[in-house]
Chains A and B, each alone.
Chain A
């Protein structure tokens, strides 16, 4: 049981990295990685939201949608749940912990349209994960996202100083850096799990 959960974490964080091999959450991956601090904050916010969203989506699917034969409604239900959840988390943090809210606040609304959150909820259902497995997979995915975006932010802080050919400046060089990171992450698929 524990081993299978550890395997899910390793698989979702490293082997099937959400950004570098499944291409979810690219929008914020490319956008926010300009600054290291913002990247780390967004990463923490994403871990938080993905974990909770996976838990709620898994419960809803197992106890409401599936038993009543409404599994075709999952896309609509999940996106609404995620949107509502982000709002609730935002209000809760604002009230209970203003310090955390201050550092994460502006990133929370962005997460609603981060396809990684919806993607994980849907993949969990597809893989037939139970509640605990879904939560762990969600957490692992969030960790994978944070790892990728913080690494890219570090690389970008170096790129800024380089004298690049003009056409490569901006988006292209960032994507080339992401490609090299992706090649590095492909190494993890050699892990025999």
Chain B
């Protein structure tokens, strides 16, 4: 990829998709993907926080002392999340109510601290913003896809519109908690199958030992051996 700004976008959406390849931010992915529209709402709010936190952290990367960088990042991210929370409550109360506690929990979303550690604090603001945008869009796409599959199978609708005829009984388990695990497991299995076929990438190996901050590097170096 020639342009390094566009390369960031490609990296975030496809190559290192935060949800499906790095397996970061699984909590909101599993929790809010009951409807496709929820996936978009959650994805966009996380994207907004991610772009701004990457920007601020990149701008301050020479100011923040190395020893206190994590607390500093947490304060920056928490402030941005609070602003997002208040804005959403005021302007899109329906989305805010649907996503509930998962909006304030963007603070502890591994993607945000992970990108701060792995990318924003080492790169220029322009690149950091594109990295945030790429990762955010990758997250949104994964969430919306998961939401769509679950909504169609579990509720018979797509973005609220009926897709199956009246008589069809939806498989309710897909919109209940177990469905979240099943659909994401299926997504990763499909990705693994594609990777095995093309032999391009390593398999997706889940969870970075409970890490969050700074786990991107650990994950990158890890080979799947299960």
Contacts and interface: CB of A to CB of B under 8 A. Distances in A.
A167 interface: yes
B192 interface: yes
Contacts of B94: none
A186 interface: yes
B182 interface: yes
Interface stretch (A47-55, A90-98, A108-116, A134-142): A108-116
Given A79-B78, A171-B205, A176-B182, A118 B104 contact: yes
Contacts, number: 165
A171 B206 contact: yes
Contacts of B85: 72, 75
A170 B27 contact: no
25 contacts: A23-B31, A26-B26, A26-B207, A27-B24, A27-B27, A27-B110, A27-B207, A28-B210, A30-B207, A75-B104, A76-B79, A79-B107, A83-B71, A110-B211, A167-B190, A168-B185, A168-B192, A171-B188, A171-B206, A172-B186, A172-B192, A175-B185, A179-B179, A179-B182, A186-B177
B27 A72 contact: no
Nearest to B197: A167
B59 interface: no
A107 interface: yes
A31 B104 contact: no
A79 B85 CA distance: 15
Interface of B: 23-24, 26-28, 30-31, 71, 74-75, 78-79, 81-82, 85-86, 101, 104-105, 107-110, 113, 173, 176-182, 184-186, 188-190, 192-193, 196, 203-213, 224, 226
B178 A27 contact: no
A13 interface: no
A181 B173 CA distance: 13
B205 to A, nearest CB: 5
A174 to B, nearest CB: 6
A114 B210 contact: yes
Contact of A32 (B31, B181, B210): B210
Contacts of A170: 188, 192, 203-206, 224, 226
Contacts of A28: 207, 209-210
Which of B23, B24, B79, B177 has most A Cβ within 10 Å? B177
A22 interface: yes
A76 B75 contact: yes
Given A32-B207, A34-B209, A119-B105, 15 more contacts: A24-B31, A30-B206, A75-B82, A75-B85, A76-B82, A80-B74, A110-B209, A115-B105, A126-B101, A166-B192, A167-B193, A170-B203, A170-B204, A170-B206, A171-B207
Contact of B74 (A72, A83, A115, A178): A83
B189 A76 contact: no
A180 interface: yes
Which of A26, A79, A169 has most B Cβ within 10 Å? A26
B78 A168 contact: no
Nearest to B219: A31
B188 A172 contact: yes
B82 A73 contact: yes
